[in-house]
Amino acid sequence: MLFPLAEYWWFYAVFTAFVLVLLAVDLGVFHRKDHEITIREAAKFSAIWISMAMLFNVLLYYYAQSAFSQDPRLLATPGFDASQAAWQVALEFLAGYVVEYTLSVDNMFVFVVIFTFFRVPSAYQHRVLFYGIIGALIFRAIFITLGAVLLSYHWVIVLFGALLIYTGIKMLSHSSTEMDPSTNPLVRLTHKVMPVSDRFDGHNFFSRVDGRWHATPLFLALMAIEMSDIVFAIDSVPAIFALTREPLIVFTSNVFAILGLRSLYFVLAGAVARFTLLRFGLAGVLMFIGLKMIWLNQAWGGHFPIGWSLAIIGTLVGGSIVASLLVERPKDGTLSKRAG
């Protein structure tokens, strides 16, 4: 392992503190007042989050190159090259980020369904996603910790690979838009443990009705989103571990992708219905990564080339998006208004 926890625990601590500062600035400064997020504003923040992830990747490359060239444990390894190892780290971070970011597009469909079902006003959707992402970061940290332990066993790798292939096959015949938020386990649990109001109370998750605290529809939407991310993490975390076995890379790439998830939603919310064939591309990604875990890594001497993985993933996702837009384009060359 290039980044053992015993030596790099401080990196996790500093990175987590940095992320908390970003979240505090985001909510306390840029989104202190509830307002409807425009596509232009969302696109600007999406560009900022993506740029920060790429800048972090560059800095990680130079840091890894410096750290590896001074690490006696690594230098004692026959054939070890610090520059080549640092380049591999940068590529694995990029691959992990791309996979997490592209697979999260499928979650956009889920968010649209949830917000529509609970009739969440546009001005409050960012607040729900903000707290949803805090929960997602906590769950991802738990899943990544478990994954780092469990995936040290070969049979677990095969099991997760088979799960990814199964999920990909299932995605071919099942759309995320077919979900029913009322059956969500956390939503049903909320109904059981406390009264639920059918009215919004501004951006509050709870309100007092006749002297009793009630959960508002906004809280139910938050619970539905949290549950959807737990389900999503079961696929996405093993998928990134198939690209890299370094928990530090998995964690940082996951976090950066999640941070940009809110802005991505507001950019794609209006157009997401046009990507009618996207799930086929995402299904292909899951099946490819599952196959990578079960067979391809072993066939290529323990690690399938990361450059090839990026090219295959990009082709599957990009091709499905282009195909979706072409299908939606009628013969006169104008885009159809049909929402898929």
Q: What is the pLDDT of residues 270-290, one digit of tens each?
A: 666 677 787 888 888 889 888
Residue 337 pLDDT:
42
193-218 b/e with 16+ CB inside 10 Å = b? eeebbeebeeeebebeeeeeebbbbb
Confidence class of residue 339 from pLDDT cuts 50, 70 and 90?
very low
Alpha helix segments (H runs only) across 76-153: 82-117, 122-150
CA–CA separation, 50 and 57 (whole Å): 11
Work out the average pLDDT over 244-261: 90
pTM for the full model? 0.80
Distance between CA atoms of 71 and 82, rounded to whole angstroms? Answer: 9
Report whether 336 contacts 330 (CB < 8 A). yes
Q: Residue 30 — very low, low, confident or very high, per pLDDT cuts 50/70/90?
A: low
Q: Which residues contact 203 (CB under 8 A, 6 or more apart)?
A: 34, 123, 124, 127, 218
Q: Which of 46, 236, 250 is nearest to 149 (CA)?
A: 250
What is the rounded distance in angstroms from the CA atom of residue 308 to the CA atom of residue 318?
15
> pLDDT value at position 17?
92
3-state SS class at 331: coil
3-class secondary structure, 330? coil
- Is there a contact between 85 and 68 (Cβ–Cβ < 8 Å)? yes
